[in-house]
Structure 1
Amino acid sequence: MSALSKAMHGFVGRHGMGAAVFIGVAVFFWVIFLIVLPQMAMLDYSFRNNLPVADVGGPKDVYTLTNYAYFFFSANGSINTLDIGVLGNTMLAAIFVTLIDIALCYPIAFILAHSATGVAARLMVIGLIVPFWVNEILRAFAFRVLFGATGVINGIGQSMGLWDAPIDFIRADVALYSGLTYAYILLMIFPIYNAVEALDRNQIEAARDMGASWWRVHWRVVLPIAKPGIASGATMVFMLTAGALAAPQILGGPSSLWFTQLIYQWFNQSANWQRGSAYAVLLLVVCICFVMLLMRVFKVNIGAIGR
């Protein structure tokens, strides 16, 4: 009997056939109608020409690679460095945000799993969760106020004499990276916490008794256990950061352009759903390739990430 069959029999035994059927139908509906079919429709759109309504379904409505070619080549045949550069910068920024989240969330998750107990642990969890009751767009505007020319950061810095004139954190993208890092911090903390919590505390104490430094304990004992959680959190943070739209629109400086903003422009401002779909498919493919690379780097499979 396969692991999936055992899991299904165990679930039916614990919760009954009715609950199993309901969850199975709900998951099937979610996957097929809210994920697979919309993606297939978008993929179909990406290979179509942007035609007037009267020509849709006619002889001109044929499959084409024009929308993808537009991303790679300009009208004069030269390389489309603008759009390719925007995609590259978006990927680099998403990687940067993901690395910051890993650096911030790993110690928090470890402390929450093995150091904080009782009231302290509950207060940490509440402190992490409650701010996310506020809408994402409102949080983005809060970061804009925080890092604005007359915001809290500049006010404190100038009052303490750290700098004389206001620093333009918006133009420097400090506000954008800070907002994105904070926006998905829970998606990094809890997968790492879930993995680290399973670690036997005696292993850490044994390593310390044998003279291992804290750095070596984490590198040789904790990190191997935390790898699936880190990979899972990094996958979610990277995908959501690369696909973010509200935060780049609100917190991005005048010189910063997110690839999702290009997609938004094609869909809504240019009314060219076909080209917008092609750009969205390209973003999806690049993100999937990054996730596959991430799995190879961490040497984990999709099952370990799913747990």
Structure 2
Amino acid sequence: MGALRDFKALFTRHGTGVGIFVVVAITLWVFVLIVLPQLAMVDMSFSHNLPPADQGGPRDVYTLSNYGYFVQGNDGSFNSLHVTILVKTVVASVIVTFLDLILCYPIAYVLAHGASKSTARLMMIGLIVPFWVNEVLRAFAFRILFGATGLVNGLGLSLGLWDQPVDFIREDVALYAGLTYAYILLMIFPIYNAVEALDRNQIEAARDMGASWWRVHWRIVIPMAKPGIASGTTMVFMLTTGALAAPQILGGPSNLWFTQLVYQWFNDAGNWPRGSAYAVILVAVSILFTLLMMRVFKVGIGAIGR
């Protein structure tokens, strides 16, 4: 009912032409570019990997073998490699999401209530301008930064923090740093939008009554920021689990991201049904994480989408 009222208000406020354009654009975007491809991928995930001549024939029937392979493999034994890769990807994505939250919450608060308008604009520019550079180039920049002869090792050696270059690539330090930086804006802006609506007088009243800063944030700011935190953590987690360029460039030789498995099934093995099944598994994990964040922060899907 709420959505229907919003559409009626859209037609009333902006006219029939604009209303029809917006409805058609949203329909094309949601159904043609998102829903239909996802449904096609789900349908393909239940298919056999058949040559074109056999597709549509008697052998072209639905099967659960692609999902079964993820759990058991071809020989029927537990497919520990792929399950472990998925678990490691999820755990790493949670860590990156947590790091982004710890870094971005103070920045978002300062932007909303701790800085003057001119300083906030300069901080915004400083945050946005680096993202004009392509994601792949930023990943290579982090690889150079954390390389054996990079700036981080150079400073560590010159300051005597370690005696020989540290392999930050193999230890996945560069990967975590690169992914944390890659999606930092997607955490800052939702929290900023939520915290900006907070009345400054509430914070000043709490301070006048003797509340410490941590108590002000815990009892006043964070409850107001919950929708932004839920939105930011959801977006950062989903994009981190779905990242491909950064794990390929910054990941160590023993760290395989789950999206790389999906890429290998589609492009290297040419097994689109199995690649679709793995992609569906990844989408399901992202949806479960979104539902978990909604439950943890006690917010609805509407609050996350604001």
TM-score bin, normalised by smaller chain: over 0.9
- SS of structure 1 residue aligned to 2:230: helix
Deviation by residue 1:117-165 (Cα, 9 ceiling, x = unmatched): 1221110000000000000100000100100111111111112222221
Deviations 1:29-68 (A, max 9, x none): 1111111111111111100111111111111111000100
Which TM-score applies when normalising by structure 2?
0.98
Q: Which amino acid aligns with 1:288?
A: I
Give 1:286's aligned residue: 285
**Aligned mates of 1:196, 1:12 — CA distance in 2:** 31
Paired residue type of 1:278 = A
The CA deviation at 1:8 is 2.2
Amino acid aligned to 1:131: P
Match of 1:83, SS state, is helix
CA distance in 2, matches of 1:32, 1:11: 21
Rounded Cα–Cα distance in structure 1 between residues aligned with 2:277 and 2:36: 16
Residue type of the alignment partner of 1:221 = I
> Is 1:268 the counterpart of 2:271 in the alignment?
no
5+ residue gaps, structure 2, are none
Deviations 1:162-221, CA, capped at 9 Å, x for gaps: 222110000010000000001000000000000000000011111111111100000000
Question: After the TM superposition, which residues 1-307 of structure 1 pair with which residues of structure 2 at under 5 Å, given as runs?
Answer: 2-307=1-306
Distance (whole Å) between structure 1 residues aligned to residue 49 and residue 148 of structure 2: 43
The amino acid of 2:199's aligned partner reads: D
Q: CA deviation at 1:271?
A: 0.3
TM-score (norm 1): 0.98
Q: Which moved more, 1:71-80 or 1:180-189?
A: 71-80
**Could you tell me which amino acid in structure 2 is paired with residue 9 of structure 1?**
K
Question: What secondary structure sits across from 1:78 in the alignment?
Answer: coil
In 2, the alpha carbon distance for the partners of 1:58 and 1:99 equals 49
The SS at the match of 2:30 is helix
C-alpha separation between the residues in 2 aligned to 1:154 and 1:17?
A: 62
Count how many residue pairs are aligned between Structure 1 and Structure 2: 306
Change (3 A) 1:26 1:154: same
Query: 2: distance between equivalents of 1:13 and 1:195?
Result: 28
Task: After TM superposition, give the deviation of residue 116 of structure 1 in Å.
Answer: 1.1
Separation in structure 2 between the aligned mates of residue 194 and residue 11 of structure 1, nearest angstrom: 23
Structure 1: runs of 5 or more not aligned: none
Three-state SS of the structure 2 residue aligned to 1:67 is helix
Q: CA RMSD in A?
A: 1.0
Tell me how far apart the structure 1 counterparts of residues 58 and 10 of structure 2 sit (CA, whole Å).
53
Aligned mates of 2:109, 2:2 — CA distance in 1: 30
State how far apart, in whole Å, the 2-side matches of 1:185 and 1:143 are: 15
The percent of aligned pairs where both chains have the same amino acid is: 69
